Every structure is written in structure tokens, then in C-alpha cells.
Chain A
């Protein structure tokens, strides 16, 4: 029956998510109080806050993919990105704010992978919000301990001759991996190349798609 809630399962057989009928936590209460005060004192407006949330939600991995495609096709840009990643990406309109950015190019003999063991540092200006697994204790603790096993679970199996280099994003830097350019992509323009660049390939848990 469509409205029979007795078994608490959706038509697809999954349990319904329970309503969050619990009291606010200390920090939730504090956030609401500060936000309401800022609005009341006309330091900001509810519309400004909603706009910032929209801007945060609008950032996504296609921005990082454009950076990678330019790195593959424009040697001058590649040099500039390696020299000062924050500046090179800011000039593309992807402002990282006060943080710095380091680009980590893979090579046939080197595979880079990024983790933040202490929290969840992530290049949000290029990739948007991090996936939930990036913030999980399992990913954060296992990636520094057994990166090849973690990579294998993402479908990436590397030969022993390829060095795996883990980057623990512990302080003020943010990292983007530049995946290897796939074979047989010589004739592709930047837009077509960018479409091959996945989010995971820029975290280091994946590789770029082949066309």
C-alpha cells in the first residue's frame, strides 16, 4: 500500500530517513544567534547569506577540470601553475582566497594522492564541496598507511615501478593532482579534454578517462 507506513520502508524498499526532531545543539544555537545578530545590526542580510551558500554550492569539479585541460595544452600556463597555483587559478576566476595552491603533476612513474588526516582541507575553489568519504576517518587514516590498497578500492591498481606519493594537507596549502593526459587525445580541444578529467582524478583516487 502506498501510504502504509507500518513497515517504514519506501516503495523501493529502503527505510525512510527519520525526522530530526531533536533539540538544537549548543553550536547550532550559537550559529543562529550570531547570524540573527549580524542581520539585526545590518552588518549582513539574509539574502547575502543565501547568496554565499549558492556561490558555495555552484563550485564544482568542472572548474578544476578546466585547469587540468589548460595544463595539458598550454606549456606557459603549466609553468605558471607550478610556480604559483593560487595566482594562476585566480586569473581564471577561481579565487582560492587566502589559501595557497600546489599543483601535483602525475608522471608515468609517479602517482600523487591527497588526504587531510587532521580534518578535511580540500581545494573548494576548484572542486566544490568534498565528498563525504574524503572526510571519513577511514579514508583519512588508511590513505597514509596503505595508499595502494585504498587506490585499488577506487579501481586504480598501479605497478610497483610507479611511486605513490601521499600528500597530507596539514596546514595552509591546498592541493590539486594533475592526472596524466590519456593516450590518443592529441586532436581534442580544451573542452573535450576537460570532460575527461574526473573529480577523483584531481584528488588522486582516480585517473582521467580515456575518450
Chain B
């Protein structure tokens, strides 16, 4: 498990990183893929193959003090180019 941070960018176009997770820190649960980058596929390109990480976040990390139950968790699939090491952030 590695601590990772989701990039905070808000680029236009077809992006499969939910905005509510951008800038949030989680741990990698497993690595999948490589899968073709959907941000290229959506526009008719072949799509660079990228690793896909399942990242686990706590509800406290995502929603802060408004979390329904802070220790509950959420997992989502995030493409490698959307992640950076959390310690570098």
C-alpha cells in the first residue's frame, strides 16, 4: 500500500477521475491494467495503456467534518497519471 494524492486539476473533456476525489489522499489497494487511457479513447485515439489503481479513501478525508461516519471508506479506480506520491505533495 502506498499513500497517494489525486491531482487537483480540472481539465476539460472526458475525464474518469471524479471531481469529489481530486486533491484527496488515499492508499493504493491494488493495481490493475494496463488499460488504454479513456481520456484518449473518448476522442477516437487508440489510448496509451496506463496502470489503473484502486485507491482507498476514508470518508473523513473526502468530506472532512461533514462525513457521515468518518471511519467508513470509499474505493475508486484512478488512472496512474492522476496520482502523485502523497509525501511529495
**Taking beta carbons and an 8 Å cutoff, which residues of A are in contact with B?**
100, 117-118, 144-149, 160, 163-173
Contacts and interface: CB of A to CB of B under 8 A. Distances in A.
Nearest to B77: A171
Chain B residues touching A, range: 20 to 34
Contact of B75 (A100, A160, A166): A166
A168 B56 CA distance: 10
Given A171-B38, A171-B52, A172-B52, A163 B20 contact: no
Given A163-B71, A170-B76, 6 more contacts: A117-B18, A117-B20, A118-B16, A144-B20, A160-B69, A171-B79
A167 B63 CA distance: 16
A50 to B, nearest CB: 29
B69 A118 contact: no
A128 B32 CA distance: 25
Interface in B44-73: 52, 54, 62-63, 68-69, 71-73
A144 B71 CA distance: 13
Given A117-B18, A145-B68, A172 B33 contact: yes
B73 A166 contact: yes
Contact of A171 (B35, B71, B73): B35
B28 interface: no
Nearest to B53: A171
Contacts of B20: 117, 144
A146 B52 contact: no
A170 B17 contact: yes
B76 A165 contact: no
The 9 closest A-B pairs by CB, nearest first: A171-B77, A168-B76, A164-B72, A166-B74, A146-B68, A165-B73, A172-B35, A170-B77, A170-B76
Contacts of A144: 18, 20, 62, 74
Which of B17, B32, B62, B77 lies at the interface centre, i.e. has the most chain A CB atoms within 10 A of its CB? B77
B50 to A, nearest CB: 10
Nearest to B74: A166
B69 to A, nearest CB: 6
Nearest to A141: B20
Contacts of B83: none
B83 to A, nearest CB: 13
Contact of B68 (A147, A167, A169, A172): A147
A51 to B, nearest CB: 28
A172 B62 CA distance: 22
Contacts of B17: 170
Nearest to B21: A168
